[in-house]
Amino acid sequence: MNSPIVDLRSDTVTKPTPAMRRAMYEAEVGDDVYREDPTVNRLQERAAEIFDRDAALYVPSGTMGNQTAIKVLTRPGQEVICEERAHIYNFEMGMMAAFSGVLPRTICAEDGILNWDLIAPNVRPRHDHRTRTGLIELENTSNLAGGSVYPPQVAEDIVERAHVAGLPVHLDGARIFNASVALGRWVAELTKNFDSVMFCLSKGLGAPVGSLLVGSKEFIEEARVVRKMMGGGMRQAGILAAAGLVALEESPKRLHVDHENAKLLADGLAEIPGIKIDSAKVVTNILFFDVTGTGFSAPEVSQSLKARNIWANPYNARSIRMVTHQDVDRAGCERALQVLREIVGVPRKAAAN
Ligand SMILES: *Cc1c(COP(=O)(O)O)cnc(C)c1O
């Protein structure tokens, strides 16, 4: 009767694999504030190598990585240009204002994908009357836009023109490996001219904790100071970095499975009466669908799903987000679809229990 839980709330819910736990158990450690943790050092060296950069820095969370980059690359009183659904604007607790003293200038772009024509009118160079632009930030893949991916030449063009305008560009690449798999391009290619890149080990890559910043040696040295300011100087962090190394080496090659499962969900959802989703736009591991046509609100559908061991969060009154990852398989996704068909297939009153 009790089917196992299918947790589609986020790719952050993954549990460490047996290989990760073994690596954690065996990890060589030291004090990383003294730069003496060999496992953290190896993780940073591998990240720098994979992204073809000078250096990398291990941070406890993606938020700390993004906010460290913003602090290093801006001055108080400046603006940060980002898309209106950006994680740095919506989910980082106002930290860019609280810590760096900067304001977001948000732009609405189709599928969360900015381009230079949208950005250019918002760039304010040195000016006697207007707040100055300090930084441009892109998010790839875009979480709230349903895991959408930047066409490589669009991102390259933004970075190139930003540099001509004298502006640095930070990439929130929490899921850059998903973009890499979707496009069939190396992460180093997709990120090459950004001034700083943050990516997460603890999302689709499946590590329990941690993100990395990559960039030039000078940038990373500054970022190290800011990380310490924020209390992110960890000691025997090799215990965690060991799992991160396994995630970095092993997980990218299985992300295509998550994308296939998301596509299966999207195609199935598109066929359920009352549910609206453009499944052609589902290209990575995140999807949003609108349930208003079913007569139920998103929180109602989410609750009914939960009662049947399918977990998915409502994003607002109308839509629900689902995210695939290593701890849900194809059978779980098929069951999620079956349960949804049953929930929205019954008249409103009968399903309200
Ligand atoms: C998850 C996420 C982050 C970082 O989140 P943390 O929970 O702080 O690790 C940053 N950007 C995006 C787009 C994300 O989805």
CATH number at residue 314: 3.90.1150.10
Overall average pLDDT of the 273-278 stretch: 97
Query: In this predicted structure, what is the pLDDT of residue 347?
Result: 57
Out of 250, 280, 297, a domain closes at 250
Out of 199, 220, 250, a domain closes at 250
Residue nearest to atom 14 of ligand 1 (CA): 174
Does 352 score more than 50 pLDDT? no
Overall average pLDDT of the 202-224 stretch: 98
Q: Are residues 274 and 154 in the same domain?
A: no
Q: Are residues 205 and 260 in the same domain?
A: no
23 neighbors 351 (Cβ within 8 angstroms): no
Query: In this predicted structure, what is the pLDDT of residue 2?
Result: 73
How would residue 3 be classed by pLDDT, with cut points 50, 70 and 90?
confident
Q: What is the CB-side half-sphere exposure of residue 209 using CA atoms within 13 A?
A: 15
Closest by Cα among 137, 162, 174 to 323: 174
Atom of ligand 1 nearest to the CA of 172: 11
Rounded CA separation 8/335 (Å):
12
Query: Lowest-confidence range among 54-58, 240-244, 348-352?
Result: 348-352
Q: Are residues 238 and 319 in the same domain?
A: no
Overall average pLDDT of the 222-243 stretch: 98
Instruction: Give 253 Cα–ligand 1 centroid separation in angstroms.
Output: 21
Taking all residues of the chain, what is their mean pLDDT, rounded to a whole number? 96
- Tell me the whole-structure pTM to 2 decimals: 0.96
Query: In this predicted structure, what is the pLDDT of residue 346?
Result: 67
Contact residues of ligand 1, CB 6 A cut-off: 61-63, 66, 87, 139, 143, 172, 174, 200, 202-203, 211
Query: In this predicted structure, what is the pLDDT of residue 127?
Result: 76
CATH of the domain at 199: 3.40.640.10
Query: In this predicted structure, what is the pLDDT of residue 350?
Result: 46
Overall average pLDDT of the 232-254 stretch: 98
Return the best residue to mutate from 83, 89, 91, 144 for the ligand 1 pocket (most ligand atoms within 8 A of CB): 91
Return the best residue to mutate from 200, 211, 313, 321 for the ligand 1 pocket (most ligand atoms within 8 A of CB): 200
Find the domain containing 79 and state its range: 18-250
Q: Are residues 279 and 313 in the same domain?
A: yes
Instruction: Give 200 Cα–ligand 1 centroid separation in angstroms.
Output: 7
How would residue 42 be classed by pLDDT, with cut points 50, 70 and 90?
very high
Q: Are residues 241 and 189 in the same domain?
A: yes
Condensed to tens digits (0 to 9), the pLDDT of residues 180-193 reads: 999 999 999 999 99
Out of 206, 224, 250, a domain closes at 250
Instruction: Give 148 Cα–ligand 1 centroid separation in angstroms.
Output: 15
In a domain, residue 259? The reply is: yes
61 neighbors 89 (Cβ within 8 angstroms): no
Overall average pLDDT of the 280-289 stretch: 98
Overall average pLDDT of the 4-16 stretch: 97
In a domain, residue 60? The reply is: yes
Does 199 score more than 80 pLDDT? yes
Instruction: Give 350 Cα–ligand 1 centroid separation in angstroms.
Output: 39
Instruction: Give 229 Cα–ligand 1 centroid separation in angstroms.
Output: 20
Instruction: Give 345 Cα–ligand 1 centroid separation in angstroms.
Output: 35
Q: Are residues 273 and 242 in the same domain?
A: no
Condensed to tens digits (0 to 9), the pLDDT of residues 291-349 reads: 999 999 999 999 999 999 999 999 999 999 999 999 999 999 999 999 999 999 865 55
Q: Are residues 45 and 188 in the same domain?
A: yes
Condensed to tens digits (0 to 9), the pLDDT of residues 307-319 reads: 999 999 999 999 9
Query: In this predicted structure, what is the pLDDT of residue 333?
Result: 98
Query: In this predicted structure, what is the pLDDT of residue 5?
Result: 97
Task: At 301, list the tokens.
Answer: 């559908």
Does 63 score more than 80 pLDDT? yes
Query: In this predicted structure, what is the pLDDT of residue 161?
Result: 98
Condensed to tens digits (0 to 9), the pLDDT of residues 114-124 reads: 999 999 999 99
How would residue 102 be classed by pLDDT, with cut points 50, 70 and 90?
very high
Query: In this predicted structure, what is the pLDDT of residue 348?
Result: 54
Query: In this predicted structure, what is the pLDDT of residue 353?
Result: 44
Handedness of CA 85, 86, 88, 92 (dihedral sign): positive
Overall average pLDDT of the 95-108 stretch: 98
Instruction: Give 181 Cα–ligand 1 centroid separation in angstroms.
Output: 19
